[in-house]
């Protein structure tokens, strides 16, 4: 009995200690062998390639070009609409998959059509109606909802996440730190990326993909892909930031586009 208790205490101590080491490591720990294994890099956009909503810097543009010259296909995985990602992919000559609306919409490349992932907008529309009824005058939709197929983006004036979730019902409520999203349960960036990989030429393995993002909308990718890089975002609540640091393998030193660039250049240098 006593030895069982001691063993249980030791297990707790070990798991607490292990938790410390499960926090993400500096990106410089990504070694040459790992860097040479990467075939696809999937990047979130807002807070990862830019500071949110704006254009990418010349340095980000150069890093994307150099990654692709070095044999790493770059793709985008974002809460943005598909037309927005298409415009960005054409501008940056991005050749990889485009995953829009936080995983609800996907295409293999800017040249290919959208895939039928079987998702519906109805749960999000119903949740939006419920929120408007719960909080009259405090829920505002964003203009680009007209271009969204599954996801709904909105602002909730002065409302806490708990208040929103308690009224929204059986639907996902996501906070990208820039805008709130309503979406059918079961949709996420990580799962959609896994579905695409199985269909790609050459069958890229999850261990050959590096994912990089900054917010809770990227958590599903951090959990499903071993090579996950967190770009720290100072606007993320402390508890969410801790969750992200526990899920991502690596963390960049700088924020937003500067963080992406330093990671990209380290990978290119490490590949030799
Ligand atoms: Mg982001």
The reply to whether 34 and 107 lie within a common domain is yes
What percent of the chain is modeled with pLDDT above 70? 92
Cβ neighbours of residue 220 closer than 8 Å, sequence gap 6 or more: 103, 188, 189, 190, 191
In angstroms, the CA 32 to CA 34 distance is 5
pLDDT confidence of 19, banded at 50, 70, 90?
A: very low
Per the structure block, which two tokens stand in for 104? 């609800």
Residue 15 lies in a domain: no
Compute φ and ψ for 221, nearest 5 degrees.
-70, -40
The reply to whether 193 and 249 lie within a common domain is yes
Write the CATH number for 88: 3.40.50.1000
Q: Which domain holds residue 223?
A: 25-117+188-271
Centre of ligand 1 from the C-alpha of residue 250, in Å? 16
Centre of ligand 1 from the C-alpha of residue 195, in Å? 21
pLDDT at residue number 200: 82
How many helices (H) and strands (E) the chain has is answered by 10, 12
Centre of ligand 1 from the C-alpha of residue 93, in Å? 20
The reply to whether 98 and 221 lie within a common domain is yes
The reply to whether 177 and 198 lie within a common domain is no
Centre of ligand 1 from the C-alpha of residue 35, in Å? 23
The reply to whether 245 and 149 lie within a common domain is no
What's the gap between Cα 5 and its chain centre? 41
Centre of ligand 1 from the C-alpha of residue 212, in Å? 9
Centre of ligand 1 from the C-alpha of residue 3, in Å? 48
**Structure-token match 């044999």, residue found:** 71
The reply to whether 102 and 31 lie within a common domain is yes
Provide the whole-model pTM: 0.89
In angstroms, the CA 205 to CA 69 distance is 21
Centre of ligand 1 from the C-alpha of residue 198, in Å? 25
Centre of ligand 1 from the C-alpha of residue 241, in Å? 13
The reply to whether 205 and 78 lie within a common domain is yes
The reply to whether 100 and 52 lie within a common domain is yes
Residue 11 lies in a domain: no
Q: What is the pLDDT of residues 247-262, one digit of tens each?
A: 999 999 999 999 999 9
User: Is the pLDDT at 7 greater than 90, yes or no?
Assistant: no
| Number of domains present in the structure of the chain | 2
Centre of ligand 1 from the C-alpha of residue 7, in Å? 42
Q: Decide which of 161 and 19 is more confident.
A: 161
Centre of ligand 1 from the C-alpha of residue 13, in Å? 35
The reply to whether 113 and 226 lie within a common domain is yes
The reply to whether 40 and 71 lie within a common domain is yes
Centre of ligand 1 from the C-alpha of residue 217, in Å? 7
Which of 183, 203, 222 terminates a domain? The answer is 183
Residue 16 lies in a domain: no
Q: What is the pLDDT of residues 187-239, one digit of tens each?
A: 999 999 999 998 887 789 999 999 999 999 999 999 999 999 999 999 999 99
User: Is the pLDDT at 9 greater than 80, yes or no?
Assistant: no
Write the CATH number for 132: 3.90.1070
Do 180 and 173 meet the contact criterion of CB atoms below 8 Å apart? Answer: yes
The reply to whether 246 and 165 lie within a common domain is no
In angstroms, the CA 245 to CA 30 distance is 16
Query: For residue 101, which of 148, 140, 55 has the smallest C-alpha distance?
Result: 148
The reply to whether 224 and 210 lie within a common domain is yes
Centre of ligand 1 from the C-alpha of residue 222, in Å? 13
Residue 18 lies in a domain: no
């Amino acid at each position: 009995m006593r030895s069982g208790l001691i063993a249980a205490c030791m297990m707790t101590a070990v798991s607490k200690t292990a938790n410390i080491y499960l926090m993400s490591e500096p990106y410089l720990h990504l070694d040459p062998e790992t860097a040479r294994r990467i075939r696809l890099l999937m990047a979130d956009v807002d807070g990862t390639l830019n500071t949110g909503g704006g254009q990418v810097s010349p340095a980000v543009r150069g890093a994307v070009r150099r990654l692709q010259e070095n044999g790493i296909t770059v793709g985008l995985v974002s809460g943005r609409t598909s037309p927005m990602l298409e415009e960005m992919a054409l501008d940056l000559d991005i050749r990889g998959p485009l995953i829009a609306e936080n995983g609800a919409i996907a295409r293999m490349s800017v040249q290919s059509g959208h895939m039928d992932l079987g998702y519906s907008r109805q749960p999000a529309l119903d949740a939006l109606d419920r929120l408007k009824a719960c909080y009259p005058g405090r829920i505002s939709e964003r203009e680009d909802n007209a271009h969204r197929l599954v996801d709904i983006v909105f602002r909730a004036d002065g409302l806490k996440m708990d208040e929103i979730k308690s009224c929204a019902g059986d639907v996902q409520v996501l906070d990208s730190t820039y805008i709130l999203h309503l979406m059918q349960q079961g949709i996420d960036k990580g799962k959609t990326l896994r579905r695409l990989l199985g269909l790609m030429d050459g069958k890229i393995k999850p261990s050959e993909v590096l994912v990089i993002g900054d917010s809770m909308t990227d958590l599903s990718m951090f959990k499903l892909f071993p090579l996950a890089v967190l770009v720290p975002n100072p606007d993320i609540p402390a508890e969410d930031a801790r969750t992200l640091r526990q899920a991502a393998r690596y963390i960049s030193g700088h924020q937003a586009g500067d963080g992406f660039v330093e990671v990209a250049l380290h990978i290119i240098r490490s590949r030799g």
